[in-house]
Amino acid sequence: MSRDDACFPQPTAAWCNTSLPFAARAALLVAALTLDEKIQQLSTFTPQTVPGVLRVGLPPFSYHSEGLHGLRNSFDTLGLNATLFPQATALAASGDIDLIRRMGSAMLEEARALSNHAEQLQLGPFGRGSGLFYWSPTMNLGHDPRWGRFQESISEDPLLNGLYSAVFLQGFQGNNTRYLGVAATCKHMLAYSLEASGNATRHNFSATLSEQDLHETFVPAFQQCVLNGRPAQIMCSYNAINGIPACLRGDLLNGLARSRWGFDGLVVSDQDSILDAWNGTKQHPGHFYGQSQENVSALAILAGCDQNDGSTYAKSLAGALSQGLVAAADIDVALTRILLQRFRVGAFDPPQLCPYRSIRTSALDSTTHRALALEAARKGVVLLSNTDAVLPLTEPDALPTKIVAVIGPLANDTASLAGGKPDYHPSFTITHLEGIRRRMARFGSAPTFAAGCERVVECSEKGIKLAEQAAAAADTTIVFVGIDGSIEREGNDRTTIGLPSDQLDMLKRVVAAARSEVIVVLCNGGPLSIGTWPRVRTRSNS
């Protein structure tokens, strides 16, 4: 029997009856499991898979896939390239909400193409590069500009964050009335904007919020995401809110999301934040809330956190049950919510019933999707000023007849173009320098290049002098400066919001040495302050 058959390997099981509503089938499947089997199904075991239950026909499954601006891990799993779109902050800067929805739709096609291809190859449980449960979008407010994950999110504005997330979900989950394209996620709920500062980390930090600030600043984006995006999942965050770990905040998960907003999906914790709620690890101590791991796991289940990303539920819920901290009926409620989403993505149904199962690999990195990514890149560029109307550099009059110097550590950097994560794999990458070279090659000319800095935080005297020489000889100097994943990333906050001091020094010296116009291009995810930049000789900052 092939993987394409419904309910492998027992298609005659009662819960495989496709004429029944998904909710009824999920309840039948839960009823078919023993209590120990149910507990094992409540953890994701990331990066492994949730074990199957062969005797009832339940196959293993991976709940962990991600993709904010394209699909992560596509090449790692299947050797296939997915379309890479600009990072979330750039997409938000476009101001084009329909563009976000169209990107979501393109990602849906590519996600299903990967999943269908993996299924055809009978590769086993769908892994991170070919799954159907996506922990995206990241929609936390950029509440602190130093936050290491600022570029993954959208903005500091609750309204924009909610609108962006909702339309992204509309495109990514699809508009079929029966099946989800993918099971996407509003994450991370709530008040998450710190990776590490002093002795505080995201694993033990407690955000202190007034009720007014909570409901006026942090809640609205998630409310809009739930009401208008109708997500299959919500992910609760690592941090605590006023002393209570976010995944244990029943007033937010069961109260706001479910009772007031009508959320009917599953709530999953961030990477073992249930472990963090008690003691965490030696490397990352937790909140030390709730007196024991069994108690914390029970509190999370009762608060509405159905699924633990990790293995803590699997290890501790049996003990919680034996201590009377949680009831078997509570386990059933949580597991029904989880399995319902697997029915909604068509994981247990014959492929002919789910229209998304017909999408093939031709959708990956297609001409149409590449064109959409190019449109998004163009619309995401923000012009800060254009002193003396130096831009645009018109063709064919300007570039062929001018000496153009391209300078900066990010001018020819490919890693930063992937948005801070190393596991996005586009089929090609065109750096800023290469783009200018291609444009000028049309007219038989080429730019000069000097990196100026070996890294974004390190500029040698030799490198700076070469940059000064290039600027002194050029009619137009284009300087690419900014930040990258070495100082801004998940797990690492910045300590300042200015340009790294070595780069700023290099920029000042290049401006002083330049004999003509200087165009500065910022390459950054999180905000950058330009208050101390040189002004006199700089013609344009873009």
Q: Please answer whether residues 238 and 192 qualify as being in contact, where contact means their C-beta atoms are separated by less than 8 angstroms.
A: yes
Dihedral over Cα of 248, 49, 56, 114: its sign = positive
Closest C-alpha to 152, from 522, 494, 496, 488: 488
Rounded to 10 degrees, the C-alpha dihedral 86/91/96/100 comes to 80
Q: How long, in residues, is the chain?
A: 542
For tokens 């070495």, the residue is 486
Q: What is the maximal distance between C-alpha atoms in the chain?
A: 81
Please enumerate in sequence order all residues whose Cβ is within 8 A of that of 50, keeping only pairs 6 or more positions apart, or say none.
40, 41, 43, 44, 60, 61, 62, 63, 125
Is residue 128 packed enough to be buried (19+ CB in 10 Å), middle (13-18) or exposed (0-12)? buried
Query: Would you tell me the crossing angle of helices 312-322 and 293-303 to the nearest 10 degrees?
Result: 90
Residue whose token pair is 């990602």: 107
For helices 158-173 and 219-229, angle between their N-to-C axes, nearest 10 degrees: 30
Active site positions, annotated: 270
**Phi, psi for residue 406 in degrees, rounded to 5:** -105, 125
Find the helix or strand (DSSP H, E) in which 36 lies: helix 35-40
